[in-house]
A = this chain, B = another copy of it.
């Protein structure tokens, strides 16, 4: 009812939606303003390509742009990002829960479909799943009015002290590849683990239910955890 008409009148291409999603992802990863080169890097295109696309997004009122300084999402751009994120995460949840996909194999499929499913279908999926708050990777799912559930505080596995038991809450990812790696290592949201060693270059060795696992820093950095004590509280 509310935003449906907006989406129609917006009529963004899948490519534009990907730029908006990328700006949202990079910004929420720390940066205040998102640079042309950061986007080029993230989307695997050249800087001139990004530059011209940012001008189009500015014309459409989706980003605020300052020459040579980068962009930020406008309020409308933010809504677009949340809408696509809602599609993406609900698709991931649905594939996992209703079509027997492994949690580590749903991202790429969702990443394509997110641009083509209607809001109607998305809402039906949400309904069928009982309006879940998080997807299979622990990412919060924007609800129908596009407000994002506040995720609880977490810390990166790379910064956890040795000997402190923690529970995996969320796994950042850009593709199925990292997820597959972690799935094969026996790590997934909900698993309890304990860091037993941090070697040079950030290599983290953790004890997990099935034994021990060593993870390179780039991977350990993707894992968000909470202290096991806190996790227990929430269960109760």
Contacts and interface: CB of A to CB of B under 8 A. Distances in A.
Interface residues of A, number: 20
Given A14-B2, A95-B121, A112 B116 contact: yes
A162 interface: no
A234 to B, nearest CB: 31
A229 interface: no
B125 A99 contact: yes
A100 B121 CA distance: 10
B128 A98 contact: yes
B124 A99 contact: yes
Nearest to A113: B116
Nearest to A2: B14
A109 interface: yes
A191 interface: no
Interface string A110-127: 001101111011001101
Given A99-B124, A100-B124, A124-B101, A113 B117 contact: yes
B98 A121 contact: no
Nearest to A91: B121
Nearest to A105: B120
A123 to B, nearest CB: 10
A99 B112 contact: no
Interface string A4-26: 00000000001000000000000
Contacts of A95: 121
Contacts of A128: 98-100
Contacts of A127: 100
Contacts of A98: 98, 128
A114 to B, nearest CB: 10
Given A98-B128, A99-B124, A99-B128, 7 more contacts: A100-B127, A100-B128, A101-B124, A109-B117, A109-B118, A113-B113, A115-B116
3 tightest A-B contacts by CB?
Answer: A99-B124, A116-B116, A112-B116
